[in-house]
Amino acid sequence: GAVVSQHPSWVICKSGTSVKIECRSLDFQATTMFWYRQFPKQSLMLMATSNEGSKATYEQGVEKDKFLINHASLTLSTLTVTSAHPEDSSFYICSALQDYLGEQYFGPGTRLTVT
């Protein structure tokens, strides 16, 4: 089956620093990837839609300059949390939309802790 990986699975960073999270589709091409944020015991909140070769589309209320998204290839999208603060601590999940079948597959998530 289609596999999506995320790296790192867990990261701790200091307030004010930036952290990059990678999302890779391992065995299929994905022109479109999605980034979600999930707070404890809550649902997934879509942050942005990442499109290969073009700018990401951010959901209302998501700061573009804080959450930088780059989708440089058909198998890789990255989310960079810039100038991280404790309130950015959360679980970040990506998903990849398989080009051929149109199915969406999820990564295992990344736990970000900002101290």
- The stretch among 21-29, 44-52, 63-71, 73-81 that binds other proteins (CB under 8 A) is 44-52
Which of 25, 1, 18, 29 shows the shortest CA–CA distance to 112? 18
Q: Does 77 bind other proteins (CB under 8 A)?
A: no
Exactly one of 7, 22, 91, 113 binds other proteins (CB under 8 A); which one? 91
Q: How far is the CB of 72 from other proteins (least distance, A)?
A: 19
In the structure encoding, which two tokens stand for residue 52, read together? 């290969």
* Selected binder of other proteins within 34, 37, 71, 81 (CB under 8 A): 34
Q: Can residue 113 be called a binding residue for other proteins (CB under 8 A)? A: no
Position 106 contacts other proteins (CB under 8 A):
yes
